[in-house]
Chains A and B, each alone.
Chain A
Amino acid sequence: MRNLFTYILSLVGFLAISQNKQILYGFDDIPQSLMLNPGSKVTQQKHYGIPLLSQIHFNGGSSGVSVYDIFKDGNDNINGRITQKLFEMKHTDFFTATQQLELLNFGWRAKNDIYFSGGIYQEFDFIVYFPKDLAILAWEGNRDYLDYPFNLGEISTTGDFMTVYHFGLNKQISDKLTVGARLKLYSSMFSYRSVNNTGTFITRLGDNDSENIYEHIVQNADVSVQTSGYASLRDLDGASQVTNEILGRAFFGGNIGVGLDLGFTYDINEAWTLTASALDVGAIFHSKDVESYRAHGTYTLDGINLIFPALNEGDSTLPYYDNLEDEIEREIPIDTLHNSYTQFRPTKLNAGLSFGFGRFNSAGDCDCLNMGGGKLHKQNVGLQFYAMFRPKGAQMAGTLFYHRRITDYLSAKATYTVDPYSFSNVGLGVSTDIGKLNFYLAADNLIRYGNLAKAKSVSLQLGFNIIIDEE
């Protein structure tokens, strides 16, 4: 079992390369679809996620480049390929990784027909935008880029590691409308961000009046990094101490935030259904263990000006170099601040329009999968829309899907998604019930599974639940 778990983890770890769970959204057979739309139709009476195994989610992506683009087998030189990609990519291209692990997930239908659900999950979320100008500067240097203003504002990255405690309500309030809401408490264990930076760096050829050959100019620089949960880690010794300290913050030991998920399902008529949700509308308030660094200013470097002072025997020379270093530190100071800051969560929007056909009634008279009373369709086709708000604007995706209930113990959903990564993302999810045990697996970019190196993004969710349909 342990080996199997290790195998699964290493496998998914390997795939770990965003947050769009287009397969799981609207996949009502899986209890975790409630996490994507608290107002989805709940078909079961109770569910318990198997602790630690109810949802393992990995999503990674790179909008501009794939592993294959760089490391493909070929006669051309790898450095040539990197150079080519460097100039092809834009500063809005990004690399992202998200991982979620559910520790607990449970739900039950109360007598008043409200479906309560709650749980705890841990989340890691990271994004870095491609700082194109700085990459060019590092890759090629400044010789061929005289007078070119390298943009320091392209530095944009965030990372968060947190535990989320959540509790939600879901109720069908009319024949057509089901609504839901979920309250979330975030316990941030570690967080950093460097966004809204500005400034340029130029190397300019000086004219006759210039002090030296070049002028190296840092103009209106304002670059900052905010961290929370980092300063106290610095003094710790070794990885185990750091791990213990971070995990100790999981239970509200760090910085606290609050957020809300909202959603609904509306049956327009027998066949058409509209759903929508907004997730993580909230913020984390960083006040403990906060440390921010800010470098700002304008400075022109000309080199070292020798003045040939008349020195007597034994006099020490002038500390030109130290003076220069001091001057730079004075003109572009790096301040360490301890101000509290509020970090808004990256809000996600989901919407879906589905057309259902074929009545699904697996067990004759008793429609056990459908205690809510609405009609379940055997097949659904439709459209989904996803948006997530990131530092440089929203990341959006559109999905076409086909969902089919094959038997009373098996249903499947296939998706075709267009997103910043690619136009050829096909995904498939299956949910199977073996007795009361539910297992689901959803993965996208299947076309690329033949060669993952060509994939620009991979998303995977899997998990085990116990679902109880009867009262």
Chain B
Amino acid sequence: MNKTISRSIIMVCACLFFSACIKDTDFDQAEDIALTPVVELDLIYFNLNANQFYDSINSNPILTVTDTTEIKFLDDSTLQESLKRAEFYFKFTNSIPRSFQVDFQFLSEANDTTYVAGTSVSEGMPTAPVITEYIENVEGDDILSLTQAHKVVVTVTIPSSNENLEGTLNLKSKTTYFLEY
């Protein structure tokens, strides 16, 4: 009697132990796992004074000002593979009574142009600043060009200038990165 019980217990244990399995699962689905974070990140900002468009020493107007910054994070192999779409948002607040042309030239490390974008900014008044919003959406093949960029050159052009010009041109900007890992 005892032997029967003990044998059956061992059998049950052995069966349970050796029949342990994993089922109703599909591990191939692992390939479908996709992280799709949407990241909001500040980009550049500036405050250009009207007097930066006039050389008071030589009494000459300066019609174009330019500045460059590295944006090393774009030129990164992980980002190149995972970036699906980038949406740049630029918000200009202009209190200078002139319109502007603002251009963004993206350059590779070897200074080859990889991507360009630009917009015109509406004329404002010192007492009543005018807001110009500009959205640049980059996707598809353009992503590849954009992610080759190592730096960006910002050029601000004013049609005319004089020593009495007042006001500021302010830029705030951010980028929304649509990623997929």
Contact = CB atoms under 8 A, between A and B. Distances in A.
Interface of A: 15, 67-68, 71-73, 77-79, 82, 137-144, 146, 203, 206, 210-214, 216, 301-309, 317-322, 406-407, 409-410, 412, 428, 430, 432, 441, 443, 446, 449-453
B3 A407 contact: yes
B40 A141 contact: yes
B174 A213 contact: yes
Contacts of B25: 67-68, 71-73, 453
B46 A451 contact: no
B45 A305 contact: yes
A212 B41 CA distance: 10
Task: State the majority secondary structure of interface residues on A.
Answer: mixed
A67 B33 CA distance: 14
Interface stretch (B61-69, B119-127, B134-142, B160-168): B61-69
B17 A304 contact: no
A321 B70 contact: yes
B179 A141 contact: yes
Interface residues of B, number: 55
B40 A212 contact: no
B110 interface: no
19 contacts: A71-B30, A139-B36, A141-B38, A143-B39, A143-B40, A143-B176, A211-B45, A213-B42, A213-B173, A303-B42, A303-B43, A303-B173, A306-B67, A308-B156, A317-B69, A320-B69, A430-B10, A446-B16, A451-B24
Most chain A C-beta atoms within 10 Å of own C-beta, residue among B26, B35, B69, B156:
B69
B128 interface: no
Contacts of B70: 319-322
Interface in B103-133: none
A303 B33 contact: no
Nearest to B176: A143
A368 B154 CA distance: 92
A68 B173 contact: no
Given A212-B172, A306-B69, A430 B13 contact: yes
B51 to A, nearest CB: 11
Nearest to B45: A212
Contacts of B20: 15, 449-450, 452
Interface in B1-40: 2-3, 5-6, 9-10, 13, 16-17, 19-27, 29-30, 32-40
Nearest to A451: B23
Nearest to B35: A139
A163 B158 CA distance: 74
